[in-house]
Structure 1
Amino acid sequence: MKKVTLVLGASTNPNKYSNIAIKRFIDKEIEVVAIGAKKGKVFNVVIDDEKKAYKNIDTVTLYLNKQRQEAYYNYIISLNPRRVIFNPGTLNDDFIKLLKENNIEVDVACTLVLLSMNQY
């Protein structure tokens, strides 16, 4: 079974960290899916603008601020990922508590740094 990463808060803007992360996942041959505010595409990865019932999500990496995350709490938990990565600017103690209560690992880190150090 393939492990899939969901980039939540994805952007087609090449200057956004979520966009850079998608490109790094592709470079490292890590399967990636994406959800953003607007539909689009980053290389061969389609950015959806709605919550999809993805299968085999291993990791959700967040690029949404605390206020925007709340709409995704139940959705992320329903995906049953192994872990959720809170990138810089996304820290949310309420959501972290909820994830831990649902036995989902929490990682407060930078996805780009983890990828660059081969620690992803």
Structure 2
Amino acid sequence: MNKTTLVFGASLKPERYSNIAINRLLDNEIEVLAYGMKKGAIEKVEIDTDLKDYKNIDTVTLYLNPKRQEEYYSYIISLKPRRVIFNPGTENPEFYSMLKENNITFEVACTLVLLATNQY
């Protein structure tokens, strides 16, 4: 099954959870795409700083606080992912409702925990 994951809010800083998640996703042989504010690479994953028309995204895992998510609602919905993961600190009931209306499932969970417990 395709598990291509878009890490949304990717950071070049190795101590950031988005950076750690990219590395763990790669360790689990999951195809990773990344969007962030600064261009660069984490391992072999280039961080895009412009919004691309990605295809076949299974999961969007969020690392942006709810206020910063607002400008990306339509974009994320347009990608038609199977699910969106709201990592700790990204919980957003307003966005949950929009995802439900568009038949996109969501989880309030931690990507790192899901990977570590084979629930990803």
| TM-score of the pair, normalised by structure 1 | 0.98
Counterpart-to-counterpart distance in 2, 1:118 and 1:4:
16
1:16 equivalenced with 2:13 (yes/no) = no
Describe the superposition over 1:13-43 as per-residue Cα deviations: whole angstroms up to 9, x where unpaired: 0000000000001101000100001111000
Describe the superposition over 1:81-118 as per-residue Cα deviations: whole angstroms up to 9, x where unpaired: 00000000000110010000100001000000000001
Give the superposition deviation at 1:3. Answer: 3.0
Gaps of 5+ in 2: none
Correspondences of 1:107-118 after superposition (within 5 Å): 107-118=107-118
Identity, in percent, stands at: 68
1:50 equivalenced with 2:50 (yes/no) = yes
Describe the superposition over 1:56-96 as per-residue Cα deviations: whole angstroms up to 9, x where unpaired: 10000000000110111000000000000000000011001
Give the superposition deviation at 1:50. Answer: 1.1
Please give the root-mean-square deviation of Cα atoms over the aligned residues, in Å: 0.9
Aligned to 1:69: 69
Aligned to 1:3: 3
Aligned to 1:86: 86
Aligned length: 120
Please state whether the residue corresponding to 1:85 is helix, strand or coil.
Answer: strand
Runs of 4+ in 1 over 6 A off after TM superposition: none
| TM-score of the pair, normalised by structure 2 | 0.98
Please state whether the residue corresponding to 1:57 is helix, strand or coil.
Answer: coil
Gaps of 5+ in 1: none
